[in-house]
Structure 1
């Protein structure tokens, strides 16, 4: 059985770790509330804008949908992997990295590059993938304007023909305990799903013209889509870290209780041994 000093040191170490994980849990919980409110408020706007754009672009004839709607043979693919800058958030980052590798395998035989948003994804994926950029600094000041610059760069690369398809891979926030990895096509634009059972179409009044409105909406919609994905991932990160730190705190508490029980048994055994020695010595003197 380990001596009492070793057990006391382990109890102190586990208690210190438990305080750290408990503090990190509370910090993540506070940040999660703000991030959750932001993505919850943004989703209806983003989804409605995308729906409106799809409905309008589906009615355009020929190539009026613009360069971003051009469907061409897929030879060059860019995967935007959205992870976090920090760890200690369970399987949050590893799930995205795993999905990126599966997507890379699905495009076997084609040129696949990766744009990393988050240090953790960049550090791992650069060992096996071609990294064309690292936008980890976005999380230092996560604003629509900063994300819009990245989205514009992606649009320029697609319009120039550098890539035939751009995919987003990120964690979708459902609740604090559940995050779902999504693969979402960024470019070219996904055409609106046709529904043969629909009884009618929405009647829009266009001013100045349908084509001009769609061409101005497309960049805004794409920038909003990327911003929503990063915001979604940001909220998921704090949810995953809060859950991971909660489990770590529970495990540390359980381990500390086990160590305390072991310490008490060892201390009792030491006291019992000392009493037996005293009693044995007293009997020896009497004899």
Structure 2
């Protein structure tokens, strides 16, 4: 299989982690870096071993770049993704896919029109434990899922920069809220529950310039979920999933940027709890390899995070944010 020649668009902090992860990928390597600043692109390329640099347009115009990773601020994702897809590149876009559902639909339409893969980069979806969780839900190990609870939050070291800037899509919902929302949507999808019309039944939080802490109750088909997010306080990292015939607990469902989650517990009736353990993998390398495999197999979607799930998550994030508008 040909190796994917990756370009990074946006040499920021998250892109540093992606460049590191590509060293562990088996199906591709870093080749190019694009930035609005030539000096930043050159410095990033020198540090991480990329061969060519240029503006975003210059990188997308190259025939020798197969796929791009978009690591820019949220509000720039849509236009960069559409341009990359139109240029014939596969796209791995850091979450959220865009800052608004209408733009996410635009990106997915562009991917379909271009016939190129697009993947929203929820790294926790990749690795053997994530595969086990999907299989348990899909196989009915706990019956029909009834309720999920998950959260993701951290305390930012300062209240400046993109996290607290509404002009670039700052706030907890877009930065961390997509994690528990996408997990709830995924669980419903894996169980065969319809995800086309998710609803935010209730919402609350603390809002200043942006939503700093947010909570919501979701209804997805016949399943409910409690989700929470924060950029000013550390929150629990577990998944608690109850079904008609049992329960699944994952103490740290998100893992880290360099190591996937490893452990879940399955409880069914009066049986002894089953503890499932897996060795971790580099999840960012795994998602890059998933895009490379999609290219090789002429697929537009990656099964770990389907387009239907990406669209559903975008609708929930829109509705959640609308509930908290000052």
Bucket of the pairwise TM-score, normalised by the shorter protein: under 0.3
Instruction: Provide the TM-score with structure 2 as the length reference.
Output: 0.25
Q: Which has the higher strand share?
A: 2
Larger RCO, structure (CA 8 Å, separation 6 or more): 1
- Which TM-score applies when normalising by structure 1? 0.28
